[in-house]
Amino acid sequence: MTNQTFGSPIDGVDYIERHCAYGVILNDENQVALAYCNGEYFLPGGGIEGEESPQECIKRECIEELALEVQTNDFINTAELYIQSVKTGKFYHNIGQFYFTSIIKQLDQSSEEDHILVWMDVEDAISKLQLESQSWAVSETLKIKKGIA
């Protein structure tokens, strides 16, 4: 598998390098679990903190965002994304690792109340995910499941 890059660095701009990890959780109805926040859809996951591994990041983020206890499974791929934050105006070079992830159990409540768990048909998710790198990762997941990656 080859890493994919989305966006390109702008000359003269200093980017903050941010290592991230995301879980791709599929159910038996070919739906993917998404975090719905402020009118936008994202895969569960985010920035790796301190010395945690990508797998630990996904587990933490799934609990915080969606109140899901999860297990990370096989690695899917890595994607790089050059982006400017709408909220802060800062420029980021996100290096995201994506993993197949499965649910162990639903917990009582997430700590991030503005995040809502949404199950969406995979094809719809690909078109509605906010970040192009995450849409690509879901597409890669489908290819792997179909044995064509």
pLDDT in tens, 84-136: 998 899 999 999 999 999 999 998 876 777 889 999 999 999 999 999 999 99
β-bridge mates for residue 68, sequence order: 106
State how many domains the chain has.
Answer: 1
User: Would you tell me how many other CB atoms lie within 10 Å of the CB of residue 139?
Assistant: 16
Structural domain containing residue 25: 4-146
Q: Model's pTM, two decimal places?
A: 0.92
β-bridge mates for residue 31, sequence order: 121
The domain that holds 113 is classified in CATH as 3.90.79.10
Q: Which two tokens stand for residue 132?
A: 């192009």
